[in-house]
Amino acid sequence: MQDFVFQNSTKLIFGKDKEQFVGKEAVAYGRKLLLHYGGGSIKSSGLYDRVKESLKDQGIEVFELGGVKPNPRVSLVREGVALCKEHDISFILAVGGGSVIDSAKAIAAGVHYEGDVWDFFDGKAEVTDCLPIGVVLTIPAAGSESSSGTVITNEEGWYKRSAMHPSMRPQFAILNPVLTYTLPAYQTACGITDMMAHILERYFTNEKNVELTDRLCEGALKTIINHAHTVLEEPTNYDARAEIMWAGTIAHNDMLGTGRIGDWASHDIEHEISGIYDIAHGAGLAIVFPAWMKHVYKHDINRFAQFANRVWDVEIDLNNLEKTALAGIRKTEEFFSSIGMPITLKEANIGDEHFSEMAKKGTERGPLGNFVPLDETNVLEIFNLAR
Amino acid sequence: MQDFVFQNSTKLIFGKDKEQFVGKEAVAYGRKLLLHYGGGSIKSSGLYDRVKESLKDQGIEVFELGGVKPNPRVSLVREGVALCKEHDISFILAVGGGSVIDSAKAIAAGVHYEGDVWDFFDGKAEVTDCLPIGVVLTIPAAGSESSSGTVITNEEGWYKRSAMHPSMRPQFAILNPVLTYTLPAYQTACGITDMMAHILERYFTNEKNVELTDRLCEGALKTIINHAHTVLEEPTNYDARAEIMWAGTIAHNDMLGTGRIGDWASHDIEHEISGIYDIAHGAGLAIVFPAWMKHVYKHDINRFAQFANRVWDVEIDLNNLEKTALAGIRKTEEFFSSIGMPITLKEANIGDEHFSEMAKKGTERGPLGNFVPLDETNVLEIFNLAR
């Protein structure tokens, strides 16, 4: 087991109607707040009004910045930074999913920085301090509600890059499974894929003595798999929505990754695709992850066989562990397909025209991943496996 | 799933030699520190000197209070409170296991209170505020290093009672598995039993839709079971010690109990025994838990069968679920015995002379437990099952 430091202070408030407490939670961080959100869904659902009401009840002055898109853009982040500086805003409330939260985090980091906020994402500067952030979560997927990271897209060159710092962990996050009832099936499935990918990135490690975190990962994966079809078939099933929502947070709160070095190449490769094609992150991961698995499984057949057995209930064939390992990869692929995800680039209408460019851009800062470090040629092969 | 609020801010610093950073962590909370510990083992191991050195390097003035006993006593807590008030101490560092940490927490709570600290334990007052606490953990068992609770024994009447408050969670805890190499086998086994009991208390719930936390509990239990004999046979096996140490923290950091109401009757019943007999808490739990299981399993045979199957790999007999359930209880009992724990009161040289008194005292504030609420007669029957 690797040495580690684990600390995650985010206060998670889980259950029905909990968004009514957002004002009470937010007021502890001052009375000038930026309400950050995406499109119109929070307005049509009535959530927007309920949140505003709760903030108003606490005498909080609300500034607004909507319009966050999936794969959130640095241009809007810059707008948010300017707004916060101009009005001396003390707190950012993100109401939405991972894109809105990531955008809020980038704004929060930019406010305490003199230069351009993109500096944090292309490695020119490091985040040291942030405005405090709160979250009302509407999409269980990214785990950003208690994570320390953010992913932002720069429209100039379509770069999609991440930044991390403990100060970016939200102070609180309100998780009401009922708010996810109206999520369309496709978005629900993208979220399921994303949270599974967060666990898989941690699971495939070269660290040998990590049974506890292996088993926590396997348990979380099994739970997600067992409830995925239920939330798709019965979108208002509270218990299933609750399991999925809580699993999305657990998947990415760093507990499951303690003592091990995760891989993260699939995320990086997916960022190249969704940086160019504006495909949903989850859908991109459903395509990339099985291809990545096929490319790397021989590096540690035992681990892939364990994955097949413990997560997918594939019986271990001691005379042919490779068969066991491959069955697990096939099950993963079939599962993503069964919940409506594309599992090839073709299904997502993505051709091979940018393969070389994406492989080059993705590896220009060095090899990707830790389980097996991947160079440009390897990444190109993964694109070919994902055709 | 029940609504819940989860927040655990304790910074966990895990790995070899990490105690060298204790001064750097502690100095953030002021320069007057109470060093709280038990007997001589931290002195003979050299840990005491290393900790003092690290504190001295940061210019921290150290006051000392040693002598914490297993089942820590309120008399020493009162001494600690007086010492902190007298010297205007700003931080308490607990170096030891659960007893030392619990004693430190009680002192920390008492410092900000006018009345007698026992008021918190017999329900006359509630903890509202605490001195900050840090931990260098030497015994993986109680999980007190990141929990919000403390258990203290009052020698007048031998009452053993608990108190809880979020402010009692330590600010940081340093977990170095090497520090546990010298733990005697019996104490190691007591710790293993204690951490398993913390998970079992959460596992046996009446909440139906809690698959995620069920699976996290099962994974943690399997990991502890799989490494228990290794740490007993190879006390200096770093990887096994690390798994056990991290499992002890995870078992009791409240994550595994989210969304469910745990039972906790076995802990309460054990407190009655160890309040009178000064038996190790873990040993008491190894006796009480199987007896409790035998008394209550018919309340939810499915849950006990699931436990038998997923934790102990007992095949489910669909034609006789009770048989499956009972096999799981037997496996639990056999396991405790196999690691050197007593599983009957007789093995711990405890007769029936106080059965009636303990059953009465344990239930005088109301029925025990939530899975099945137990009255005086039920508790008496459990003592009889544990003979």
Interval B61-85: pLDDT, tens? 999 999 999 889 999 999 999 999 9
A158 has pLDDT over 90:
no
Provide, as residue numbers in chain B, all residues whose Cβ is less than 8 Å from the Cβ of A5: 11-14
Residues of chain B with pLDDT under 50: none
Residue A226 is which amino acid?
Answer: N
Q: What is the pLDDT of residues A20-56, one digit of tens each?
A: 999 999 999 999 999 999 988 999 999 999 999 999 9
Q: Do A212 and B9 touch (CB under 8 A)?
A: no
Where does a domain end: B147, B162, B179?
B179
Q: Are B113 and B250 found together in one domain?
A: no
Determine which of B146, B211, B238 to mutate to test the interface with A (most A C-beta atoms within 10 Å).
Answer: B211
- Least CA distance to A238: which residue of chain B? B1
Q: Do B212 and A259 touch (CB under 8 A)?
A: no
Provide, as residue numbers in chain B, all residues whose Cβ is less than 8 Å from the Cβ of A223: 211-212, 215
A19 has pLDDT over 90:
yes
Q: Do A1 and B255 touch (CB under 8 A)?
A: no
In contact, B202 and B262? CB cutoff 8 Å: yes
Q: Do B5 and A16 touch (CB under 8 A)?
A: no
Q: Does the beta carbon of B237 lie under 8 angstroms from any beta carbon of chain A?
A: no
Average pLDDT over residues A198-221: 98
Provide, as residue numbers in chain B, all residues whose Cβ is less than 8 Å from the Cβ of A1: 239, 242-243, 246
Provide, as residue numbers in chain B, all residues whose Cβ is less than 8 Å from the Cβ of A18: 3
Q: Are B197 and B246 found together in one domain?
A: yes
Residue with tokens 């410092």: B111
> Which pLDDT belongs to residue B275?
82
Q: Do B239 and A209 touch (CB under 8 A)?
A: yes
Q: Are B175 and B225 found together in one domain?
A: no
> Which pLDDT belongs to residue A306?
98
Where does a domain end: A134, A164, A179?
A179
Q: Do A219 and B215 touch (CB under 8 A)?
A: yes
Q: How far is B171 from chain A, CA to nearest CA, in Å? A: 10
Q: How many domains does chain B have?
A: 2
Q: Does the beta carbon of A13 lie under 8 angstroms from any beta carbon of chain B?
A: yes
CB atoms within 10 A of CB B46: 9
Q: Are A175 and A190 found together in one domain?
A: no
Distance CA A208, CA A137 (A): 35
Q: How far is A272 from chain B, CA to nearest CA, in Å? A: 32
Q: Does the beta carbon of B12 lie under 8 angstroms from any beta carbon of chain A?
A: yes
Q: Do A212 and B223 touch (CB under 8 A)?
A: yes
> Which pLDDT belongs to residue B160?
86
Where does a domain end: B135, B153, B179?
B179
Of the candidates A164, A150, A172, the residue with the CA atom closest to the CA atom of residue A9? A172
The answer to whether residue B6 sits within a structural domain is no
Distance CA B257, CA B254 (A): 5
Q: Are B19 and B160 found together in one domain?
A: yes
Q: Does the beta carbon of B9 lie under 8 angstroms from any beta carbon of chain A?
A: yes
Q: Do B4 and A15 touch (CB under 8 A)?
A: yes
Q: Do B243 and A10 touch (CB under 8 A)?
A: no
CB atoms within 10 A of CB A334: 12
Q: Are B189 and B291 found together in one domain?
A: yes
The answer to whether residue B5 sits within a structural domain is no
Q: What domain range is B39 assigned to?
A: 11-179
Q: Are B166 and B223 found together in one domain?
A: no
Residue with tokens 């598995």: B177
Provide, as residue numbers in chain B, all residues whose Cβ is less than 8 Å from the Cβ of A208: 239
The answer to whether residue A266 sits within a structural domain is yes
Q: Does the beta carbon of A4 lie under 8 angstroms from any beta carbon of chain B?
A: yes
Q: Does the beta carbon of B227 lie under 8 angstroms from any beta carbon of chain A?
A: yes
> Which pLDDT belongs to residue B44?
93
The answer to whether residue A2 sits within a structural domain is no
In contact, B342 and B363? CB cutoff 8 Å: no
CB neighbours of B104 closer than 8 A, spacing ≥ 6?
B34, B36, B80, B92, B93, B94, B133, B135
Give strand ranges (E) for chain A. Answer: 4-14, 32-37, 61-65, 91-96, 133-137, 149-154, 159-164, 172-175
- Least CA distance to B214: which residue of chain A? A219
Q: Does the beta carbon of A250 lie under 8 angstroms from any beta carbon of chain B?
A: yes
Q: What is the pLDDT of residues A103-144, one digit of tens each?
A: 999 999 999 999 999 999 999 999 999 999 999 999 999 999
> Which pLDDT belongs to residue B26?
98
CB pairs under 8 A between A and B: 113
Q: Does the beta carbon of B209 lie under 8 angstroms from any beta carbon of chain A?
A: yes
Q: What is the pLDDT of residues B158-183, one digit of tens each?
A: 888 999 999 999 999 999 999 999 99
Query: Which of A3, A16, A246 is closest, CB to CB, to B259?
Result: A246
User: Per the structure block, which two tokens stand in for A187?
Assistant: 């978005």
The answer to whether residue A6 sits within a structural domain is no
> Which pLDDT belongs to residue A40?
82
Q: Are A323 and A231 found together in one domain?
A: yes
Q: Does the beta carbon of B333 lie under 8 angstroms from any beta carbon of chain A?
A: no
CATH number, residue A307: 1.20.1090.10
Q: Do A220 and B220 touch (CB under 8 A)?
A: no
CATH number, residue A36: 3.40.50.1970
The answer to whether residue B2 sits within a structural domain is no
| Residues above pLDDT 70, as percent of chain A | 100
A157 has pLDDT over 90:
no
DSSP A122: T
Phi, psi at A316, each rounded to 5° = -75, 125
